[in-house]
Amino acid sequence: MLKEGIKAPAFSLKADDGKTYSLKDFKGKTVILYFYPKDNTSGCTAEACDFRDNIKIFTKKNAVILGISKDSIKSHQNFKEKYSLPFTLLSDENVEILEKYGVWKEKSMYGRKYMGVERSTFVIDENGKIKNIYRNVKVKGHIEELLKSI
């Protein structure tokens, strides 16, 4: 289980722009690494739009926003374009990074159990250490909580 104060697990994932990004690419910046269940669902759309609407504040605080889900690059491209999202969406179709960060969990809906992404956010400092962990994120009020922590 990951905890605050330790080095964040490294990753290298393809993004919506076709490039591959690694955590080390953002050394010197605060990384807001948020994991979300699925493109174009109501909660995930609200969360992405909250990040979009506050991007200037994050940028002023030397922070970069990266969203990760299991969705494909094509799905990310459509989601990003539809909502004019000004940040990078990374695809983890093999769930390797989702598992490394402990956000790939058994979930239950209407009595049916399945594996899915636990909505979570990791604030990673300029040196690659985990500063804050937010698990089971509720979208409403989350941006305000993040802005106070960076």
137 part of a folded domain: yes
pLDDT in tens, 113-127: 989 999 999 999 999
Q: What residues does 129 pair with on adjacent strands?
A: 7
Residue 44 appears among annotated catalytic residues: yes
Structure confidence by residue, pLDDT tens digits, 33-80: 999 999 999 999 999 999 999 999 999 999 999 999 999 999 999 999
CATH of the domain at 69: 3.40.30.10
Selected catalytic residue, list 33, 44, 66, 85:
44
Q: Give the global pTM.
A: 0.95
**Are 16 and 77 within 8 A, CB to CB?**
yes
Instruction: Answer yes or no: is 13 within a domain.
Output: no
Q: Quick one: pLDDT at residue 84?
A: 98
Name the pLDDT band for 109 (thresholds 50, 70, 90): confident
At 108 the pLDDT is 84
In a domain, 102, yes or no: yes
Amino acid identity of residue 67, one-letter, is G
* Number of separate domains in the chain: 1
